[in-house]
Amino acid sequence: MKTDTLFYQLFNTFHTLLFELIERPIAEAEGYEFSSVEVKEKAFRFDGIFSPKAKDKPIYLIEVQFQQKEDFYWEYLSEIYLYLNQYRPAQEWQAIAIFARRSYEPEPRSHVREMLDCQRIRRVYLEDLLDRETDSFAIGIIQLILSSESQAVRLARQLGEKIEQENNTEIQEQVLELIETVLVYKFPKLSRQEIEAMFTYSDLKQTRVYQDAREEGEQRGLKLGEQRGLVKGQSTMLLRMLGRKFGQITPSLRGKINKLSAKQLENLAEALFDLETIADLNNWLKTKGKGN
């Protein structure tokens, strides 16, 4: 499963997650702003940057890797030094390389090993979190992302039950949307009704995707409304994810995406994490977004 946008959502929603992963006090998250920063010369983009307002705290440069990539460290170092040259930050910095599994990390060369030894680059292996007992919603969602299909339904229900006890309705909605998004990626062949069956009605009715689909269904009528509401819900979720990855989506692009069929939306969702620029998105819509 491609995960760049999911982890952007996670870090953007849970500002303490990075500090949980690197085992720093959660209180240190205070005073940081999270963003995704593009380094212009090579169009490299970090998966995330935590930038402190204070000068006595380090900048954290984050890269998440969910597949084997032999040139990972070459590209990561290129991003780091291009960023430092372009932005000239006053603060110290630390790079955080987050691997889903240890097997995905390439063997570090000697110059990388030196940076690892002095903790300039710090590694996190998410597989170490799989069996951890936790009250953290963010860690729970990571466990869901890494879980097998047979484990995913149980974990999703456990998270759904736990989030019912949360008093902050905004956090409830954000967590439920993240759970639903992970399940959509894990079970691409399941219908919306089957995905919904993994939650109680009280859980699901809080999510924006559900509300969008329901509203569309009410406006369009029963059977036709249900079908169109589903497509509306898919396009709404996809537009939100595209906005988080690329920034502002133009009305023209929104119009093109809203005209896609359910199958085309599914294909675009699968291609989303391979699209690096708005130009790539435009090209996909021109070549693969036509017809049914």
pLDDT value at residue 164: 81
C-alpha span between 110 and 116 (Å, rounded) = 10
Cα gap 227→215, rounded to integer Å: 12
Is the pLDDT score of 158 beyond 80? yes
- Residue 147 pLDDT greater than 80, yes or no: yes
Q: Which domains, and CATH codes, for the chain?
A: 4-129 (3.40.1350), 170-288 (no CATH)
> Does the pLDDT value for residue 230 go beyond 90?
no
- pLDDT of res. 45: 75
Whole-number pLDDT of residue 286? 84
Element (H, E) at 121: strand 121-125
What tokens were used for 69?
Answer: 């990539």
Chain center to CA of 63 = 12
Q: Tell me how far the alpha carbon of residue 129 is from its chain's centroid.
A: 17
Q: What is the pTM of this model?
A: 0.62
Predicted local distance difference test score (pLDDT) of residue 223: 45
Look at 218 and 97; give whichever has higher pLDDT.
97
Indicate the pLDDT class of residue 253, thresholds 50, 70 and 90. confident
Of 16-20, 263-267, 282-286, which gets the smallest average pLDDT?
263-267
Bigger pLDDT: 42 vs 268: 268
